[in-house]
Amino acid sequence: MASIQETLKQRFQTALASAFGASYAETDPILGVSSNPKFGDYQANVALSLAKPLKQPPREVAQAIASALVVDDLCETPTVAGPGFVNLTLKPAYLAQWLTQVQSDPRLGIAPTAHPQRVVVDFSSPNIAKEMHVGHLRSTIIGDAIARILEFQGHDVLRLNHVGDWGTQFGMLITYLREACPEALTTSDAVDLGDLVVFYKKAKQRFDEDEAFKETARQAVVKLQSGDAESLKAWGLLCDQSRREFQVIYDWLDIELTERGESFYNPYLADVLTGLIEAQLLVEDAGAQCVFLEGYSNKAGDPMPLIVKKSDGAFNYATTDLAALRYRIGQDKADRILYVTDAGQATHFAQFFQVAQRAGWVPDTVTLTHVPFGLVQGEDGKKLKTRSGETVRLKDLLDEAIARTRSDLQQRLQTEDRTETEDFIEQTARTVGLGAVKYADLSQNRTSSYIFSYDKMLALQGNTAPYLLYAYVRVQGISRKGNIDFSALGDTPLVLEEETELTLVKHLLQLADVVEQVSQDLLPNRLCQYLFELSQKFNQFYDRCPVLQAEEPQRTTRLVLSETTARSLKLGLSLLGIKTLERM
Ligand code: ARG
């Protein structure tokens, strides 16, 4: 079924066409949820922008639209307010009808998209031999949520892990390990990722200090990139080691990803250069092959180049991204490519997007979007660090969230005088702890930085995962207590009368539009906010309205309201990659 905003939009367009002529049939009615429920549920602002072209006062335009609007099956009589807003209030009878329909719809009234696309979501993308850090955690959580939402809408999503598995770091590392730990180059599992990271740091230090080492390391990269068997074997072992460690995190967080690292595009790098020559964009500058960028200049005002092949012959990050882009459009048939990385890489994306566009590699039907996010900060507002000043290991961070949830839970069980099995405690601590980490990240507008606080994310009150999960558990409690089989509620006609019932159902009705909006602006925090408000509205309803004790038809109506709330919470949370629990 069409979402409420879609339905209203169509009604408005029909009204606009009949009031002002067929050329207005596609005009955007500028429709949104009313900011103040006093004025109704939805508000259209189009009259204000039509006043000028129509040469009529905005209130008159609004009046004409309101008179032409046919919505009596959905809404009370439209009203005009303020400078020219058209306000709509949904009818309880319509809401009851909607609720009845949604009750038997596994998609809760969210129709699959009419225009399925092939979407590449490039996310997570840690670097081999380096520890995955909180920036990668953000990318992983946000990218996964976006992918889940697009998949639910029926898009064909390719989740790509653009792992940093190629380039200078391997030259350094292989050269260093040959001296310090040769077995790491020939046997699997000779070192673990922690050691590898230490080796990497030492190798980097040597690289920066020791000219001879630097030269050997450079040659080692060239050797690797030209396909030397021994180097490739060592490289493969190092990658495997990192990969296994990354996988632990992905398993914990329930993340599906297809690894297609930078090395994958190695065979296509030369084509990037050929393509740029054909497009007459490639210029040699101080021995390097580059493209001069439009709109970027250095301090002296000279145009800045994007280097695609360094003077030593090496390709770089941007070259690989250009090759990847060509591959994703040409081979993967992508219509939309999303890159989820920290905001610090915004320039990199803007630059290689520009080069690709100027080279004619991006058809009009394809959109490229960098999906940036801010930093994760410690409670001191600085970059997140351990007490001893080290970068935080993701495994430790997740472990701690689970451990803290567990101790909160054990305390609660004690005060509530409950005994639970170890299995229950473990499952609950995991689900709530990991859900809380994800939710804390997703509930922030991704473009801002946020402060990582276990206390805040694990609080049972406020915009947190535990609060939402608890609302869900409350409904499960109702059905357990009343021994309710939601699938067999019979066909008692639903009747909505109480204020809190109406407020709740009107919120439930908005889920489809929120999901649609998030799929466009890629801001999962909107879905979080929606779910938080849903939990609040459910709690208000539940505090005011008896459910199991109510008479019919209220009893069935309220059971359906509760059940639809629970299903909306479960679906919404699942789109964020967060699991629900039946009890907690
Ligand atoms: N490996 C990069 C990093 O850790 C992120 C890669 C993002 N994806 C891309 N196509 N550039 O910063």
How buried is residue 52: exposed, middle or buried, by Cβ count under 10 Å (0-12/13-18/19+)?
A: exposed
Q: Is the CB of 125 under 6 A from ligand 1?
A: yes
Query: What is residue 160's DSSP assignment?
Result: E
Q: Is the CB of 339 under 6 A from ligand 1?
A: yes
pLDDT of 385 higher than 90: no
The pairing of strands 85-88 and 288-297 is unpaired
Q: Is the CB of 127 under 6 A from ligand 1?
A: yes
Query: What is residue 392's DSSP assignment?
Result: P
Give which of 268, 339, 326, 322 is closest to 119, Cα–Cα.
339
CA of 330 to the centre of ligand 1 (A): 21
CA of 103 to the centre of ligand 1 (A): 43
pLDDT of 218 higher than 80: yes
pLDDT of 361 higher than 80: yes
- The residue among 223 and 337 whose pLDDT is bigger is 337
CATH topology of domain 408-575: Isoleucyl-tRNA Synthetase; Domain 1 (1.10.730)
Q: What is the pLDDT of residue 114?
A: 94
Average pLDDT over residues 283-291: 94
Nearest CA, atom 9, ligand 1? 162
Q: What is the pLDDT of residue 390?
A: 78
Q: Is the CB of 124 under 6 A from ligand 1?
A: no
CA of 263 to the centre of ligand 1 (A): 13
Lowest model confidence (mean pLDDT) among 185-189, 475-479, 553-557: 185-189
Mean pLDDT, the chain, rounded, equals: 94
- Residue 417 neighbours by CB under 8 Å, 6+ apart: none
Residue 133 pLDDT grade (very low, low, confident, very high; cuts 50, 70, 90): confident
Give which of 248, 141, 250 is closest to 577, Cα–Cα.
141
E-assigned strand segments in 65-155: 79-81, 85-88, 118-122
CA of 520 to the centre of ligand 1 (A): 22
CA of 264 to the centre of ligand 1 (A): 14
19 near 64, Cβ under 8 Å? yes
Residue 175 pLDDT grade (very low, low, confident, very high; cuts 50, 70, 90): very high
Q: Is the CB of 9 under 6 A from ligand 1?
A: no
Provide the whole-model pTM: 0.95
CA of 128 to the centre of ligand 1 (A): 11
pLDDT of 389 higher than 90: no
In Å, how far are 92, 155, 510, 513 from 2, measured between CA atoms?
A: 19, 17, 11, 10
Residue 161, both tokens = 């892990």
Summarised one tens digit per residue, pLDDT across range 229-242 is: 988 999 998 898 88
Q: Which long-range contacts (CB under 8 A, 24 or more apart) does 79-83 make?
A: 79/40, 80/47, 81/39, 83/48, 83/58, 83/59
Residue 357, both tokens = 């566009």
CA of 352 to the centre of ligand 1 (A): 13
Collapse the DSSP code of 202 into the 3-class scheme (helix H, G, I; strand E, B; otherwise coil) and give the result: helix
Residue 268, both tokens = 């296509």
342 Cα nearest atom in ligand 1: 12
Nearest-10 Cα torsion for 309, 313, 317, 321: 60
Distance of CA 398 to the CA centre of its chain: 19
Q: Is the CB of 165 under 6 A from ligand 1?
A: no
317 Cα nearest atom in ligand 1: 11
Residue to mutate, 332, 341, 351, ligand 1, most ligand atoms under 8 Å from C-beta: 341
Domain parsing of the chain, residue ranges: 4-90, 118-161+261-376, 168-254, 408-575
155 near 334, Cβ under 8 Å? no
Query: What is residue 496's DSSP assignment?
Result: -
Average pLDDT over residues 131-156: 95
In Å, how far are 191, 383, 447, 558 from 472, measured between CA atoms?
A: 44, 34, 29, 15
Collapse the DSSP code of 376 into the 3-class scheme (helix H, G, I; strand E, B; otherwise coil) and give the result: strand
Q: Is the CB of 260 under 6 A from ligand 1?
A: no
Nearest CA, atom 5, ligand 1? 125
Which residues pair with residue 377 across a beta bridge?
383, 451
Nearest CA, atom 11, ligand 1? 321
Q: Is the CB of 351 under 6 A from ligand 1?
A: no
CA dist., res. 539 & res. 486, Å (int): 20
Q: Is the CB of 335 under 6 A from ligand 1?
A: no
Summarised one tens digit per residue, pLDDT across range 252-264 is: 999 999 999 999 9
Average pLDDT over residues 528-556: 96
pLDDT of 393 higher than 90: no
Summarised one tens digit per residue, pLDDT across range 505-523 is: 999 999 999 999 999 999 9
Q: Which helix (H) or strand (E) holds 245?
A: helix 229-253
Output phi, psi for 463, to 5 deg.
-80, 75
Percent of the chain at pLDDT > 70 equals 100
Percent of the chain at pLDDT > 90 equals 79
CA of 81 to the centre of ligand 1 (A): 50
Residue to mutate, 124, 345, 355, ligand 1, most ligand atoms under 8 Å from C-beta: 345
CA of 135 to the centre of ligand 1 (A): 11
Q: What is the pLDDT of residue 241?
A: 86
Nearest CA, atom 4, ligand 1? 126
Q: Is the CB of 241 under 6 A from ligand 1?
A: no
Q: Is the CB of 405 under 6 A from ligand 1?
A: no
164 Cα nearest atom in ligand 1: 1
pLDDT of 425 higher than 80: yes
161 near 261, Cβ under 8 Å? yes
410 near 425, Cβ under 8 Å? yes
Task: State the amino acid at position 85 in one-letter form.
Answer: F
324 Cα nearest atom in ligand 1: 10
pLDDT of 121 higher than 90: yes
Distance of CA 383 to the CA centre of its chain: 22
Cis before 126? omega within 30: no
Residue 129 pLDDT grade (very low, low, confident, very high; cuts 50, 70, 90): confident
Cis before 553? omega within 30: yes
Domain 118-161+261-376 indexed as CATH 2.40.110.10: no
Q: What is the pLDDT of residue 381?
A: 84
How many other CB atoms are found less than 10 A from the CB of residue 29?
25
Q: What is the pLDDT of residue 122?
A: 98
The pairing of strands 367-373 and 283-285 is unpaired
Summarised one tens digit per residue, pLDDT across range 33-73 is: 998 888 899 999 999 999 999 999 999 999 999 999 999 99
Collapse the DSSP code of 455 into the 3-class scheme (helix H, G, I; strand E, B; otherwise coil) and give the result: helix
Q: Is the CB of 131 under 6 A from ligand 1?
A: no
Nearest-10 Cα torsion for 447, 453, 454, 460: -80
Summarised one tens digit per residue, pLDDT across range 301-315 is: 888 999 999 888 888
Q: What is the pLDDT of residue 386?
A: 76
214 near 207, Cβ under 8 Å? yes
130 Cα nearest atom in ligand 1: 4
Q: Is the CB of 166 under 6 A from ligand 1?
A: no
Residue to mutate, 121, 122, 124, 125, ligand 1, most ligand atoms under 8 Å from C-beta: 125
Residue by residue, DSSP assigns 16-59 as HHHHH-GGGTT----EEE-SSGGG-SEEE-HHHHHHHHHTS-HH
Q: Is the CB of 207 under 6 A from ligand 1?
A: no
CATH topology of domain 4-90: Gyrase A; domain 2 (3.30.1360)
CA of 341 to the centre of ligand 1 (A): 7
CA of 269 to the centre of ligand 1 (A): 17
